[in-house]
Structure 1
Amino acid sequence: MTDDQFLSPTRATYAIVAESYGEFVPPVRDDIEDRALLAAFADLVRGGPVADLGCGTGHVTTYLASLGLDVSGIDLTPEMLAIARRNYPELRFSEGSLLGLDLPDGGLAGAVAWYSIIHTPPSRLPAVAAELFRVLRPGGYLQVGFHVGDQHNHRTQGYGQEGFSLDIYWLPVDGVGDLLSDAGFEILTKVVRNPAARVPQGRVLARKPA
């Protein structure tokens, strides 16, 4: 599978659901546990630029900004970015892909990939991890959020819309840790939220060695 074969339907799907997306995805500020994880991340990266990679409509970007971070958002889908810019005009948003970020080597103090790796086929995740490693400065931090499991789901409806094509990959938390370790990261924290739920949620905090 080429990059375009999965990036194009993902971009097209989020273009369809962009306006309704916020009605179905609660803001991260409404979740006390995720607020705590992101606040801890913010304490580690203060004083340097931070990117919310796969920012969607910007709800994580604006929360990180509220914590005092110099944060910008990057997303694959122009329609999602248009909503982010409309809702948060004081923040910076730009278009880009996790497989090829228009960012300099070692330029970021921190990066968040909040449910933005879940549409990438596992065979392409090492390239994503390498790109995340590249854009972080030595000593920089990465916070990743994802669905926990070991399966591939294909959706044709959701977020109040239908008629699209979206692949979602649930990933084992240890597998994500190994993926990042193989890319050169030090793994600091691995968390599984709601392990008994139908779809547990994973969080991994990693650091690029100084």
Structure 2
Amino acid sequence: MTASSYLASVRACYDAVAVDCARLLGTDLAGKPLDRAMLGAFAECVRGERGGPGRAVADLGCGPGRVTAHLDALGVRTFGVDLSPAMVAVARRAYPGLRFEVGSMAALDVADGVLGGVLAWYSTGHTPPSELPRVFGEFARVLAPGGHVLVAFEAGDERVRLDHAYGHPVDLDVYRTPPDRIAALLAGAGLAEAARLVREPTPHEASQQAFLLARKG
């Protein structure tokens, strides 16, 4: 699958499920204390860097905006970017005081070295492994020195084909990835691992869930 074809497939799938995704995921963070802890640590790291409180954080693959809003509530100036126009429309309706844009995490409309943080909350899981170095290189490009990135993803070592999601038929790949591999790819982009968490799945999850926090030197 080419880069353009996988992006078109992801966009089409999430356009189709946007409204129901927002409805079904709306309060999921409430029951996940470890996930919230990693978001809290990320927010504190961003605020603690020199110039951090004034630098924005990009929530890439923001979906319906719930995590963008969570970070904003933690005192981090956050904006969302998503490939799906329908997802961006849902996020703008739900959080009219926040900024949401249509865009690709592989080619961000952001200047070099201006962001205090980058969040990829389960948003790299549809990216073919061969494309991840380019995506993580883009994360590094837009981060200021000392900025942080937090990547949340399904741990494992397999490709899973989804034919149904959020009550809709879809045609989508999910790539489960070993945390060591994600850490190595981040390091290759100049983003040094600072911390990681791997937790067991909830009853509604099919694999371990991993969270990697890294810093640009």
Scaled by the length of structure 1, the TM-score of the pair is 0.95
Q: 2:96 aligns with which of 80, 89, 92?
A: 89
**Structure 1 equivalent of residue 213 of structure 2:** 205
How many percent of aligned residue pairs carry the same amino acid?
Answer: 45
Aligned equivalent of 1:19: 19
Which one-letter code corresponds to 1:116 in the other structure? S
**What pairs up with 1:184-195 in 2 under 5 angstroms?**
184-194=190-200
Distance of 1:138 and 1:16 partners within structure 2: 38
Taking the aligned partners of 1:171 and 1:185, their CA distance within structure 2 comes to 18
Q: Which amino acid aligns with 1:202?
A: A
- In 1, distance between residues paired with 2:78 and 2:30? 16
Matched residue SS, 1:90: coil
Deviation string, structure 1 residues 148-190 (Cα, Å, up to 9, x no partner): 000001112121111x211110010111001101111111112
Verify: 1:42 aligned to 2:43, yes or no: yes
In 1, Cα distance between equivalents of 2:137 and 2:90: 29
Residues in 2 aligned to 1:70 and 1:27: alpha-carbon distance in whole angstroms: 22
Alpha-carbon distance between aligned partners in 2 of 1:63 and 1:168, rounded to the nearest angstrom = 25
Q: CA deviation at 1:29?
A: 4.2
* Structure 1 residue 71 corresponds to structure 2 residue 72: no
Separation (CA, whole Å) in 2 of partners of 1:109 and 1:22: 27
- CA drift at 1:35: 1.2
Runs of 4 or more, structure 1, over 4 Å off, are none
Task: Tell me by how many angstroms 1:15 deviates.
Answer: 0.6
AA aligned to 2:198 is V
Does 2:179 match 1:173?
A: yes
* Secondary structure at 2:149 match in 1: strand
Residues 71-109 of structure 1, C-alpha deviations (whole Å, 9 max, x = no match): 100000000000000000000000111110000000100
C-alpha distance in structure 2 between counterparts of 1:127 and 1:29, whole Å = 33
**Distance apart, 1:3 and its partner CA:** 1.6
* Alignment check: 8 A CA contact 1:181 1:187 kept: yes
Count of residue pairs brought into register by the alignment: 208
Following superposition, the deviation at residue 2 of structure 1 comes to: 2.4
Which whole-Å deviations, capped at 9, do the CAs of 1:6-40 have from their partners, x for residues lacking one? 00010000011111112333432442111111111
Which residues of 2 match residues 22-33 of structure 1 at below 5 A? 22-25=22-25, 26-33=27-34
Checking the alignment, whether the CA contact within 8 Å between 1:27 and 1:59 is kept in structure 2 is no
Inter-partner Cα distance in structure 1 for 2:172 and 2:23: 19
The DSSP-based 3-state class of the residue aligned with 1:117 is coil
Where does structure 1 lack aligned partners over 5 or more consecutive residues?
Answer: none
3-state SS of paired residue (1:73): strand
Give the Cα–Cα distance (whole angstroms) in 2 for the partners of residues 31 and 165 of structure 1.
28
Q: Given that residues 22 and 90 in structure 2 are in contact (C-alpha distance below 8 angstroms), is that contact kept between their aligned partners in structure 1?
A: no
In structure 2, how many angstroms separate the alpha carbons of the residues matched to 1:60 and 1:189? Answer: 20
Selected match of 1:149 from 148, 156, 162? 156
Aligned amino acid, residue 53 of structure 1: L
Are the aligned partners of 2:110 and 2:142 in contact in 1 as well (CA < 8 Å)? yes
Structure 1 contact 177–190 (Cα < 8 Å) conserved: no
Unaligned runs of 5+ in 2: 48-52
